[in-house]
Amino acid sequence: QVTLKESGPVLVKPTETLTLTCTVSGFSLSNARMGVSWIRQPPGKALEWLAHIFSNDEKSYSTSLKSRLTISKDTSKSQVVLTMTNMDPVDTATYYCARMTDNPSLDYWGQGTLVTVSS
Amino acid sequence: QSVLTQPPSVSAAPGQKVTISCSGSSSNIGNNYVSWYQQLPGTAPKLLIYENNKRPSGIPDRFSGSKSGTSATLGITGLQTGDEADYYCGTWDSSLSALWVFGGGTKLTVL
């Protein structure tokens, strides 16, 4: 079955760089119909889409966060990595990765990982 | 402020019907498929509707979706207390570059 799981630090300091890994199973990152997005949700707030990587390695980023984000994938490891530079307390959120199909929709989600930014 | 506009909250009694609107523009809803997501308290979002009106396997037919022009609507009939959740619409937006957008979310309360 399809699963996605986020991993990374639970606590980062202001100005540090956050690196999150999404490990997927049940599908291949080279599948032409599949891609992976990162989404975050500050406590008590709405979902915010961050970035997406397509099967052909094309990338798309949130306009407001583009300068701070990098998304990449390692197909052999079934992993998608998101880095976010210059972290700030307002970046405290649960970070999700999700599979996107060509319908398009986010059909499978990871459980999410809470990242707190604090000194 | 979200690109897609949803009402912050809706409410209805058990057994009743409710609709949740999602308003956008020609660069997003007007020219792309809309999907809807349900987020129960403390859990990850779950896909409810894709391609405007299709339900994934396992989603009951109490949930329906529609789209007209630059707006989309999620309908839920036969409300149950277990439907209390936040609901989000989402779609691609191609105004400047391709990016995904969510609505601000709607909190459904089943009274």
Residue A70 is predicted with a pLDDT of 98
Please tell me which of the candidates B2, B39, B47 has its beta carbon nearest to residue A105.
B47
Query: Which residue from A minimizes the CA distance to B57?
Result: A107
In the predicted structure, residue A119 carries a pLDDT above the cut 80: yes
Residue B95 is predicted with a pLDDT of 80
Residue A68: strand, helix, or coil: helix
- Residue A118 phi, psi dihedral angles, 5° rounding: -160, 150
**Angle made by CA atoms A110, A111, A115, in degrees to the nearest 5:** 105
Partners of residue B101 in chain A, C-beta under 8 Å = 49
Residue B12 is predicted with a pLDDT of 96
In the predicted structure, residue B97 carries a pLDDT above the cut 80: no
Interface probe, candidates A36, A106, A107, chain B, greatest B C-beta count within 10 A: A106
Rounded to whole angstroms, the Cα distance separating A99 from A109 reads 7
Residue B41 is predicted with a pLDDT of 94
Contact A49 B101 (CB under 8 A): yes
Please compute the mean of the pLDDT values over residues B51-67 and round it to a whole number: 96
Please compute the mean of the pLDDT values over residues B89-101 and round it to a whole number: 88
Contact A52 B100 (CB under 8 A): yes
Whether the CB-CB separation of A5 and A96 falls below 8 Å is answered with: no
Partners of residue A103 in chain B, C-beta under 8 Å = 33, 35, 50-51, 54
Please compute the mean of the pLDDT values over residues B72-85 and round it to a whole number: 97
Query: Which residue from A minimizes the CA distance to B94?
Result: A60
Interface probe, candidates B88, B100, B101, B106, chain A, greatest A C-beta count within 10 A: B100
- Encode pLDDT of A12-71 as tens digits: 999 999 999 999 999 999 988 889 999 999 999 999 999 999 999 999 999 999 999 999
Residue A66 is predicted with a pLDDT of 94
In the predicted structure, residue B96 carries a pLDDT above the cut 80: no
Please compute the mean of the pLDDT values over residues B56-78 and round it to a whole number: 97
- Encode pLDDT of B10-48 as tens digits: 999 999 999 999 999 999 999 999 999 999 999 999 999
Contact B99 A63 (CB under 8 A): yes
- Residue B95 phi, psi dihedral angles, 5° rounding: -65, -45
Residue B1 is predicted with a pLDDT of 77
Please compute the mean of the pLDDT values over residues A73-96 and round it to a whole number: 97
Half-sphere exposure of A75 (CA within 13 A, CB side): 12
Residue A9 is predicted with a pLDDT of 97
Whether the CB-CB separation of B6 and B106 falls below 8 Å is answered with: yes
Residue A102 is predicted with a pLDDT of 86
